[in-house]
Amino acid sequence: DSGVTQTPKHLITATGQRVTLRCSPRSGDLSVYWYQQSLDQGLQFLIQYYNGEERAKGNILERFSAQQFPDLHSELNLSSLELGDSALYFCASSVSYSGAGEQYFGPGTRLTVT
């Protein structure tokens, strides 16, 4: 158990809908990263927050947004969902704001868009 929690574990929704994925980092970690793993693709970095502020952005679509709250939990909002958004979404936390620190991955949320 990495100490990172993600909810829900599974989510099934229809095209055009909006969903929110939630992540609670390990105690003491200020950084939260969001990743997407689609079928037959490697992990893709979406976005990073550090202590409430956006720190780095990867291949995140405009339909997706994220935020980190004062208690350091983070939410990833996915809107106008398309079939291609079906994927496993991981969050990871780290004590570091940079790549110099170990990352601890949560169990993931599997999103299925029908």
2 binds another protein (CB under 8 A): yes
User: CB under 8 A: which stretch of 7-15, 18-26, 71-79, 103-111 binds another protein?
Assistant: 103-111
Q: Which residue has the tokens 């398309």?
A: 82
From residue 67, alpha-carbon distances to 31, 60, 103 in Å are 12, 13, 19
Q: Which residue has the tokens 């939630």?
A: 22
- Per-residue contact flags (x/-) with another protein for residues 57 to 86, judged by CB under 8 A: xx----------------------------
Q: Could you say which of 12, 43, 51, 80 contacts another protein (CB under 8 A)?
A: 43
Footprint on this chain of another protein (rule: CB under 8 A): 2, 33, 42-45, 55-58, 90, 92, 98-108
